Structure 1
Amino acid sequence: MISRITPVLGRLAGWIVAIAVVAGLQLVAPQAHAERIKDLGAFEGLRSNQLVGYGVVVGLAGTGDDSLDYATQGIKGVISRFGLTLPPGINPALKNAAAVMVTAELPAFAKPGQRLDVTVSALGKAKSLRGGTLVLTPLRGADGEIYGMAQGNLAVGGLGVSGADGSQLSVNVPSAGRIPSGASVERAVETGFDTSPALTFNLADADLTTALRVADAINLAFGDQRAKALDGVSIAVAAPQGAESRIMMMGLIENIEVRPADPPARVIVNARSGTVVINGSVRISPAAVSHGKLTVSVNEAPRVVQPAPFSRGETAVEQSSAISAAEERNPMFLFKGGASLADIVKAVNAVGASPSDLVEILGALKQAGAMKAELEVI
């Protein structure tokens, strides 16, 4: 009996030590910059799956698809489920029904019987789905298998009204709505996390330094070398057998705090809105900048010239143009070596540069080799 209890106590002691180390790391790590591992990425295989289905919404107040072919076929399919068959050549009027696409997201570990929120969107000419009811609709995954069944009354936030003269008023989008908890899970998705030889944690943003820091933090927390960075995204973690032990380990790993690497120096320019974003990694080498504007204006003041009395001249229009040029005298400002983001903002504000001027300044600094950063225009 004692020989059976000893391994269990040893395993329990190991987990207690790991929990204590994780708690110690959270207390020692710099809270201002550290982030939990669960906020940096996710374990491979533990992801949501998209579901989609084709269905029919009934009970509309004359805002349906009318006689659209695939809506008619959908109604015939619904009727046939109850053993009814319409005579050949007869198509039902569908002003009170609409063909729709139903979408939902199946989270990881979802079990049969759990409820999902679904989004219902009109597929054809339906003007509004307000007041409609979705008829029982199967939801399929990418493999074609049925993973859920949806049905229920729609909650539509939009409103559409039309008058007899053709005038229309729409608020938001009345041709789409949601059904909270409108679908039930019929089949679970196998994740395979409890049978795979090792677990793989994938970072949301690829970075070699961050991957190494995550692996080091996991090894430090558990006191061994179970984690190994495979590349800039994936960290392989040796895991014990059994779902219970793996879930406990994964929960501990997700709450370890790691200080991610600083992002690459980058300047983002939105050409449509004029927005310029500079991250804190941008540094400027010694450089002097002077930015001015040359304004040229042309004023046209045509005048009418009348001929002398009793002369044979004709009235004519005489052109009169006035051209002027003015150049703003902006002072030159100096960037010292290693200028930070605050220095850049202060210098740009001092000369009163607009966002478009700032883009020109940053582009010139990059061309001169004084700014080692990626300039991205979106």
Structure 2
Amino acid sequence: MTRIILLALAAFAALFPAPASAERVRDLGTFQSVRSNQLTGYGIVVGLDGTGDDNFAYVTQAMRGVSDRFGLQLPPGVNPALKNAAAVMVTADLPAFAKPGQRVDVTVSAIGKAKSLRGGALILTALYGADGQIYAMAQGNLAVGGLGVTGRDGSKLTVNVPTVGRIADGASVERAVATGFESSDVLRWNLYQADFLTATRVRDAINARFPGMAQVEDGVTLALRLPYGANERAGIMANIEMLDIDPAEAAARVIVNSRTGTVVISSAVRLAPAAISHGSLVVRIDENPTVVQPGPFSRGETAVEQDSAIDAYQDGNRVTMLNPGASLAELVDGLNMLGLSPPDLVAILEALKQAGSLKAEMVVI
């Protein structure tokens, strides 16, 4: 009895389509001024156990600069062996609205012949933005997840990447980035992926909540006219980000990874009428040589008589018919009937695209 009730409920639920999944505005895009900024610096890691850059010129020059900073003058012409130091690039992401005194994580990467940064410490390093200004200062002990070991006979063992490390909260913000968040006349919101239908739906949802506030500039950007002042704008932006939107259906695309053979077909892919036949021609040649031995007391010579058997056949030469407007499920079922491998599937999809039957964009990565 319970099974009959469950089947009845399932059948009743199938009569009604599933509601479209709504997404929040904050998951579809971001405000133009709310963004992170990349920082980069050149520094020196010291305290290595003989795994540094040795006597590279750029390391020596950097160490001279560090020594001069602390009032220590190295004698001219002296190039110290710096096996315990390494030249590195230091990178970090400065979060939106980061203020002086806040801490951010940094990544430290060797740029020379250093074998490992394990156990090293980064000397005070300035981190620059794209405008050439210093926005943070980095320093601290590295946490390295890799391991490198070298034997006296030249054998080596490397686990992960020992020439890259991180310093948690290793940089202190020294300058804030001006965003114009509270004073700009227009605040722009950008979609992660361009789509005119989704942009208009977001505009309509915002205007339904705040009449006349949003206008579409293009398939990505909405221009929002907000009242001045950070307090007022923050409240309105918080409400906008939590609005539910039904985004447009994704474009019909077939994604092919040429290196791994992975094929991904979006649900919007449709096919025009087409018949597919795919199989490989197999040619088989069997050689059965026979030794011919002449009879006794004759003048004949022993010889080899060739006996060849040649056969050719088509393997998997079945034909699959795809009806007009075939969906993704029908396409997959039809191709599975042919027993295809990923390379074969790619070849068929390319042929369907050339024939004009595949109504989708082919993207090869």
Q: Distance in 2 between matches of 1:314 and 1:89?
A: 88
Residue 236 of structure 1, CA deviation: 0.6
Once the two structures are overlaid, the 10-residue window that deviates more, 238-247 or 334-343, is 334-343
- Asked if 1:103 corresponds to 2:91, the answer is yes
Which secondary structure state, in structure 2, belongs to the residue aligned with residue 183 of structure 1? strand
**C-alpha RMSD over aligned residues:** 2.3
Q: What's the counterpart of residue 243 of structure 1?
A: 230
Say which of 251, 266, 285 aligns to 1:264.
251
Residue 76 of structure 1, CA deviation: 1.2
Residue 291 of structure 1, CA deviation: 2.6
Say which of 348, 360, 363 aligns to 1:373.
360
Count of residue pairs the alignment pairs up: 348
Q: What's the counterpart of residue 347 of structure 2?
A: 360
Residue 293 of structure 1, CA deviation: 2.7
Q: What's the counterpart of residue 13 of structure 1?
A: none
Residue 329 of structure 1, CA deviation: 5.1
1:255 partner amino acid: M
1:251-290 superposed matches below 5 A? 251-290=238-277
Say which of 51, 75, 78 aligns to 1:87.
75
In structure 2, relative to structure 1, the CA distance for the partners of 1:306 and 1:241 (3 Å cut) is farther
Q: What's the counterpart of residue 218 of structure 1?
A: 206
Q: Distance in 2 between matches of 1:269 and 1:129?
A: 38
Q: What's the counterpart of residue 144 of structure 2?
A: 156
Q: Distance in 1 between matches of 2:109 and 2:203?
A: 44
Task: Give a deviation string over 1:159-204, Cα, whole Å, max 9, x none.
Answer: 0000111111000111110000000000000011211111111111
Once the two structures are overlaid, the 10-residue window that deviates more, 328-337 or 197-206, is 328-337
- Asked if 1:69 corresponds to 2:64, the answer is no
* Identity %, equivalent residues: 64
Once the two structures are overlaid, the 10-residue window that deviates more, 356-365 or 152-161, is 356-365
Say which of 319, 323, 327 aligns to 1:340.
327
Q: What's the counterpart of residue 40 of structure 1?
A: 28
Which secondary structure state, in structure 2, belongs to the residue aligned with residue 64 of structure 1? coil
Q: Distance in 2 between matches of 1:368 and 1:129?
A: 56
Residue 349 of structure 1, CA deviation: 1.5
Task: Give a deviation string over 1:179-232, Cα, whole Å, max 9, x none.
Answer: 00000000000011211111111111111111111111111122x121111110
1:108 partner amino acid: A
Task: Give a deviation string over 1:60-93, Cα, whole Å, max 9, x none.
Answer: 1111111111111111111111111011111222
In structure 2, relative to structure 1, the CA distance for the partners of 1:317 and 1:63 (3 Å cut) is farther
1:17-32 superposed matches below 5 A? none
Which secondary structure state, in structure 2, belongs to the residue aligned with residue 250 of structure 1? helix
With normalisation by structure 2, the TM-score equals: 0.89
In structure 2, relative to structure 1, the CA distance for the partners of 1:309 and 1:256 (3 Å cut) is farther
In structure 2, relative to structure 1, the CA distance for the partners of 1:199 and 1:374 (3 Å cut) is same
Residue 309 of structure 1, CA deviation: 8.7
- Asked if 1:112 corresponds to 2:100, the answer is yes
In structure 2, relative to structure 1, the CA distance for the partners of 1:240 and 1:320 (3 Å cut) is farther
Q: Distance in 1 between matches of 2:169 and 2:290?
A: 76
Q: Distance in 1 between matches of 2:175 and 2:241?
A: 27
In structure 2, relative to structure 1, the CA distance for the partners of 1:69 and 1:351 (3 Å cut) is same
Which secondary structure state, in structure 2, belongs to the residue aligned with residue 349 of structure 1? helix
Which secondary structure state, in structure 1, belongs to the residue aligned with residue 175 of structure 2? coil
Q: What's the counterpart of residue 207 of structure 1?
A: 195
Q: Distance in 1 between matches of 2:256 and 2:274?
A: 22
Query: Structure 2 regions of 5+ residues with no counterpart?
Result: 1-17
Query: Structure 1 regions of 5+ residues with no counterpart?
Result: 1-29
Q: What's the counterpart of residue 14 of structure 2?
A: none
**Conserved 8 A contact 2:316-2:338:** no
Residue 269 of structure 1, CA deviation: 1.6
Q: Distance in 2 between matches of 1:88 and 1:309?
A: 100
Which secondary structure state, in structure 2, belongs to the residue aligned with residue 139 of structure 1? strand
Task: Give a deviation string over 1:123-143, Cα, whole Å, max 9, x none.
Answer: 111100000000111111111
**Conserved 8 A contact 2:20-2:246:** no
